[in-house]
Amino acid sequence: MQRVLSRNTMVRVTFILLIAAVLVSTVTGCNAKVEQKAQDKTIMFGDFNWDSALINNRIAQFIIENGYGYKTDSIQGETIPLMQGLSRGDIDVAMEIWIQNAQEAYDKGIADGSFIDLGTNFNDNVQGMFVPAYVVKGDPERGIEPMAPDLKSYKDLPNYKHLFQDPEDPNKGRFYGAVPGWEADYIITEKFETYGLSEHYNIFRPGSGASLASSLVSAYEKGQPWFGYYWGPTWIFGKLDLIQIEEPPYSEELWNNGYGCQFPAVDVNIVVHKDLPEQAPEIVEFLKKYEVKSDIISEALAYMNDEGVEADQAAIWFLKEKQDIWTTWVSDEIAEKVKQKL
């Protein structure tokens, strides 16, 4: 026997169905808004003027865009202006803050709460005073005789100031220093005073990291003397044979007394603007897991130099060749999305 619903029952059923439809519509709308939020937010990266920072940026940007659905962009500049932009919120992410080389700006941002330090990107790096190996050992294949066979330590440098002659001050040698504004510039200046080298050498300060590299490569290709500051990881160490000038081993006592020892390994950390955890919490969680060793970055830098490609192509190389590394930073679902775009 067919059961006939009463008028009241039919009204109640209709009402329930309407409520269900509203709820489904609301949930769908909320999900769409969440997805739209990810698409609308553009995460801004600071493009510092050295290649390892650019590669780290492009790796992170590719994963964020293709794995998480956010748009990204970048702003080019020197260290201090970009850190000021990070403080203001013009920049969301800095993938390579060499903390001890930008200590004052870093401390200020942490103290006033405009920065959040997400942890180490890498800390197995090197800094110091270098000369091309042929300066000490010669290079028979290139017909270069040793120019300073007894040069080992900073104590030997006064004996070779005329080898590294400053063209603007022939009575002194020239040392190619760090870029103005880098903490390393101040440290090197103090080192030269501590070691007594300022009496024998002038510090020439290039306008950018690229200019510093160019001075070294130009001298190296010509087999000429060069004496200056450099750091790693960079493609320079993957392509050129350099010898580090010996200094006393690092100790806190010597470091705090005129920097009279080797540079310590610098903490290179990922730092974000204070608002990013609220704006894109999943991106912050991803960046907390991001970590690459110096030798891996040097591989990517060497690829970039050998193939004559830009940082974005070096990032693709890394994402294809080093999947055992970057897939540990993200979920399996995100990893698959990224792989599909490679």
Tens-digit pLDDT string for the chain (342 aa): 444 445 555 545 455 555 555 454 454 454 444 455 555 789 999 999 888 999 999 999 999 999 999 999 999 999 999 999 999 999 999 999 999 888 999 999 999 999 999 999 998 888 999 999 999 999 999 999 999 999 999 999 999 999 999 999 999 999 999 999 888 999 999 999 999 999 999 999 999 988 999 999 999 999 999 999 998 888 888 789 999 999 999 999 999 999 999 999 888 999 999 999 999 999 999 999 999 998 899 889 989 988 999 999 999 999 999 999 999 999 999 999 999 999
Q: Enter the tokens of residue 86.
A: 């990070």
Q: In sequence order, what are the beta bridge partners of 268?
A: 98, 122
Q: Determine the pLDDT at residue 31.
A: 47
190, 258 Cβ separation under 8 angstroms: yes
Looking at domain 41-125+266-340, its CATH class is alpha beta
Exposed, middle or buried by CB within 10 Å (0-12, 13-18, 19+), for 324?
A: exposed
Please choose, from the candidates 194, 202, 236, the residue with its C-alpha nearest in 3D space to the C-alpha of residue 219. Answer: 236
Q: Determine the pLDDT at residue 5.
A: 46
Q: Kindly calculate the radius of gyration of the chain based on its CA atoms and give it in whole angstroms.
A: 27
**CA separation for the pair 215, 209 (Å, rounded):** 10
Q: Determine the pLDDT at residue 46.
A: 98
Distances (CA, A) of 285 to 52, 274, 288: 22, 14, 5
Q: Where are the domains of the chain?
A: 41-125+266-340, 126-255
Please choose, from the candidates 273, 300, 245, the residue with its C-alpha nearest in 3D space to the C-alpha of residue 88. Answer: 273
47, 74 Cβ separation under 8 angstroms: yes
**CA separation for the pair 317, 329 (Å, rounded):** 17
CA 89 from centre of chain: 19
Question: What is the third-level CATH fold of 126-255?
Answer: D-Maltodextrin-Binding Protein; domain 2 (3.40.190)
**CA separation for the pair 58, 316 (Å, rounded):** 8
341, 66 Cβ separation under 8 angstroms: yes
Do 41-125+266-340 and 126-255 share a fold? Answer: yes
Q: Determine the pLDDT at residue 17.
A: 54
Q: Determine the pLDDT at residue 2.
A: 44
Distances (CA, A) of 144 to 3, 79, 133, 139, 164: 105, 38, 11, 5, 16
Distances (CA, A) of 10 to 2, 7, 15, 23: 15, 5, 9, 20
Identity of residue 166? D
